[in-house]
Amino acid sequence: MLNSVIGRLRLVGLIEGASYLVLLGIAMPLKYIAKIPVAVKVTGWAHGVLFVLFCLALAHAFFVARWSIFRAILVFLAALVPFGTFAIDGWLKKEDARLRGADAPPTPASA
């Protein structure tokens, strides 16, 4: 997964998506129900760093994979929605395989 630009985007996206769910599902209730605001402070900081890494990985994929701006915007918007990065992971996996197929050397024809 780490040996391709889209593989790295997928990995960062899955980690960022998980941190978003932890922030919304665990840290926010701890802050507002249990009155533990430090949960959001710590989790929010970690999620923010991961979101910036996701944006950098997306920019890298945009340039290396020569994506259209529309495609890059859709991936970015998916990161703003809970479960969004998980929803696009299958498509990113197919896109990675497609790009790897284009980069693979041609196989010799069988005789």
Which tens digit of pLDDT belongs to each residue from 14-66? 999 999 999 999 999 999 999 999 999 999 999 999 999 999 999 999 999 99
Tell me the C-alpha distance between 42 and 68, whole Å.
35
Query: Helix 84-103 and helix 5-22: axis angle, to 10°?
Result: 170
* Locus of tokens 């890298």: 60
- pTM for the structure as a whole: 0.86
Side chain identity at 8, as an amino acid letter? Answer: R
Tell me the C-alpha distance between 24 and 18, whole Å.
10
Other Cβ atoms less than 10 A from the Cβ of 108: the count is 6
> Does the pLDDT at position 102 exceed 80?
no
**DSSP code, position 27:** I
